[in-house]
Amino acid sequence: MALRICLVTPFSWSQPHPVNENVAGIAAALRARGHHVTVLAPSNRALELKAGRRALERGQDADFIAVGPAIHVTRRSTLGIPVGVRANLTLALARGRFDVVHGFEPGLPSLSYLALRDTRSLTVAGFLSTERIAYPPARSRRERLLGRTDALLATDEEIAAAAKERFPGDYRLLPEGVDTDLFRPGKKRRLIAAEWRSTERAVARSLIRVLRELDGWELLLLRTKPLAGRPSVPRDLRDRVRVRTVRDPETRARLLAEAAVFVPAPGGLGRLRLEAEACGAATADPPALAEQPQLAAAAVARLAEDATIREELQARARKHAEKQSFAAVAAQLGGIYRELCKRRRPSRKGSADPLAGREWILCDLHMHTSSSPDCSVEVGDLLDHAEEIGLGAIAVTDHNVFAGAREAAKRASSRKLIVIPGEEVKTGGQGEVIGLFLEKAIPRGLSFAETIEAIHEQGGLVYMPHPFDRLHSVPDSATLRRHLAEIDAFEAYNARLIFETFNDEALRFARKYNLTMGAGSDAHVLQGVGTGCVRMRSFEGPEEFLISLRGAEIVRRPRSLVYLQSLKWAAQVKERAR
């Protein structure tokens, strides 16, 4: 199955960067597997910006779209993304009709963060460094991002552990990937390649000292950042020690192909090490190298003196790198993307409506009676009022009790009004779940999964009420995603929520996964009944109800929450005074 995939990087495409190399390699490998891949990134190249504007204006597909000029991004950045760049990003995401949006390093104030936050597509967040996870600072904003992220990826255990502190969740480990065609073994010579970092000078000094004992060997210090300084080299070794800045992959591939031994810097680039392995260099990386840098010299001396061990490690390194090629990474990513797409239910637009001849009715799917401890509305009064305001069906969903729903269904048998017996059940730590078309009470305190199972055992339907009302206990997004296939209907509008953003988040979630949407007033007083409902075809039984609900229209008839809440409190005070 070919997918439309969007890869978003926060770093300027016009400048060399390890993340961009990772994105470019993955994009090429995914295209080779038949997927349509678009890369979104900033750029400072005039031609790329012009081509990006043209693609956005004409709605054209493109392998790469520059959405705006680059802004220097670090973990300490506080400068926001310009409005024009945000607008271009929104336009690109909307017109791209992507199945999956994969943001790299979303823990920075950048395009990746905005893309994952704002897209309507399935989302993947990829973390490649422990130093790029500081944003956003507010916990509520991190929770919102997590709620909209379908999969979390990291390139190793250390990065996953660091990211989990700020973005809790289940992380899958995925290697960075390497181009094994570009990075391949060449004719080896007596060359030691070492990663140079100005903060780890002790390792370089130890290698320079041991070079005197290794006749015929040379040392090549590789700088991956500009202006990173250079070590002090004794005069008698200057013809055997070189320092090179290697920001582009072609230069690194040419130099590493000749290296017999590679020494990574403590805390250095994992990509450089992987590229050295792909080039068949034996890696000298003894444990505790950061604490005892002289160990690097001992390891290098051993490999230089023993050609058998050196050649064995070279072959092993190449074999290890081949398993982490961009092709292998793309195969794993493709599996993850397809797995996520299975969460989204198929669209039923254009399908025939088997209930087309039925009359249209208004149905309020969430309300309470005096059986709930926080409601004083009698069943008879509720039924009379529902009919008076023109409702054709209601669902009675008292808190953790079923008596009110049972009584309402029995007393409505002689009325035209349809009553769906239900219960709003408090789970053990994961919010509330409503069961519709129940026959008996569901005990409170069960796990989320057990509550759903108990509802389905009765032939009932699972209806998720106010799933993003963060002022109350609600299931976390990961729990919702795990049980998407078992949720029969999703409350996209609850008339009683204080903040409309909670309803917006529910609507966004339901649309993202093509869930069947419902609405309810969550009324605790008569005046609130019908303030949230759906316009749907008349139905008989749970099967027809679901069919009708799939083509329903949400109806919002809000009233002042202050007014409704004051009526509820007044009724509770009156009840206590009796």
CATH class of the domain at 4-176+327-341: alpha beta
* pLDDT mean over 529-540: 94
CA–CA gap between residue 81 and residue 290 (Å, rounded): 38
For the four alpha carbons of 244, 248, 251 and 252, in that order, the dihedral sign comes to positive
At 473 the pLDDT is 84
- Identify which of 230-239, 292-301, 435-444 has the greatest average pLDDT: 435-444
Query: Which residues of 246-392 form beta strands (DSSP E)?
Result: 261-263, 282-283, 360-367
Residue 563 clears pLDDT 90, i.e. is over it: no
Whole-angstrom distance, CA of residue 542 vs CA of residue 318: 60
Q: At residue 22, does pLDDT exceed 80?
A: yes
d(CA 218, CA 237): 9
Over residues 377-406, the pLDDT tens digits come to 899 999 999 999 999 999 999 999 999 999
Amino acid (1-letter code) at residue 542: P
Question: Which residue do the tokens 């969007």 mark?
Answer: 6
Residue-level pLDDT at 569:
60
Smallest CA-to-CA distance from 239 within 260, 265, 262, 208 is with 208
Mean pLDDT of 124-134: 91
Say if CB 11 and CB 103 are below 8 A apart.
Answer: no
Q: Which of 74-78, 266-270, 499-503, 521-525 has the lowest mean pLDDT?
A: 74-78
Handedness of CA 169, 172, 178, 179 (dihedral sign): negative
Which amino acid is residue 71, in one-letter code? I
Q: Which two tokens stand for residue 402?
A: 């079923």
- pLDDT for position 46: 92
Share of the chain above pLDDT 90, in %: 62
| Whole-number pLDDT of residue 81 | 79
Q: What pLDDT, in 10s, does the model give residues 219-257?
A: 998 888 765 567 778 888 888 888 888 888 999 999 999
| Residues in a beta bridge with 413 | none
SS3 letters for 9-47?
CCCCCCCCCHHHHHHHHHHHHHHHCCCEEEEEECCCCHH
H or E element that contains 251 = helix 249-256
255-273 pLDDT, tens digit each: 999 999 998 888 778 889 9
**pLDDT confidence bin for 561, thresholds 50/70/90:** low
The pLDDT mean for the chain works out to: 89
Query: CA nearest 42: which of 17, 5, 76, 78?
Result: 17
Per-residue model confidence (pLDDT) at position 199: 74
β-strands 461-464, 432-436: how paired? Answer: antiparallel
CATH code 3.90.1150.10 for 191-322: no
| Confidence at residue 136, expressed as pLDDT on a 0 to 100 scale | 87
Where does 360-577 sit in CATH, by number? Answer: 3.20.20.140
CA-wise closest residue to 510 among 557, 463, 578, 470: 463
Per-residue pLDDT at 75:
59
Would you say residue 192 has pLDDT above 80? yes
Check residue 349 and give its pLDDT.
Answer: 65
Question: Per-residue confidence at 327, pLDDT binned at 50, 70, 90?
Answer: very high
Cβ pair 39, 9 in contact under 8 A: yes
Q: Domain ranges in the chain? A: 4-176+327-341, 191-322, 360-577
Longest Cα–Cα distance of the chain, Å, equals 105
pLDDT tens track for 418-437: 999 999 999 998 999 999 99
Mean predicted confidence (pLDDT) in 463-490: 92
| pLDDT for the residue 574 | 53
Measured in whole angstroms, how far is the alpha carbon of residue 577 from the centre of its chain? 51
Please name the helix (run of DSSP H) or strand (run of DSSP E) that holds residue 139, with its range, or none.
helix 139-147
> Which residue from 539, 466, 518, 536 is spatially nearest to 497, judged by alpha carbons?
466
- Is residue 555 scored above 60 in pLDDT? yes
Round to whole Å and give the CA distance between 420 and 536: 14
Q: What is the H or E stretch that residue 572 is in?
A: helix 561-577
β-pairing, 360-367 vs 532-537, is antiparallel
Peptide linkage before 136 cis (omega within 30 of 0) = yes
What's the pLDDT at 530? Answer: 92
Amino acid at 158: E
Rounded Cα–Cα distance for residues 48 and 39 (Å): 12
pTM: 0.84
H or E, element range at 492: strand 489-494
> Among 19, 560, 572, which residue's Cα sits nearest to residue 269?
19
- Higher pLDDT residue, 203 or 398? 398
- Residue among 478, 422, 407, 413 nearest 146 (CA): 478
Q: What is the pLDDT of residue 429?
A: 87
State the burial class of residue 484 (Cβ atoms within 10 Å of its Cβ: 0-12, 13-18, 19+).
middle
Q: Which residue from 96, 91, 33, 94 is spatially nearest to 67, judged by alpha carbons?
A: 91
Lookup: tokens for 495: 């008339």
Per-residue model confidence (pLDDT) at position 73: 66
Edge-to-edge order in the sheet of strand 282-283: 241-245, 218-223, 191-196, 261-263, 282-283
Domains 4-176+327-341 and 191-322 share a fold: yes
Could you tell me what percent of the chain has a pLDDT over 70? 94
Our separate counts of H helices and E strands in the chain read: 19, 21
DSSP-H helix ranges across 148-198: 157-166
The pLDDT assigned to 362 comes to 96
Q: Provide the pLDDT for residue 568.
A: 60
Q: Which residues contact 120 (CB under 8 A, 6 or more apart)?
A: 93, 94, 508, 511, 512
* Terminal-residue alpha carbon distance, the chain: 66
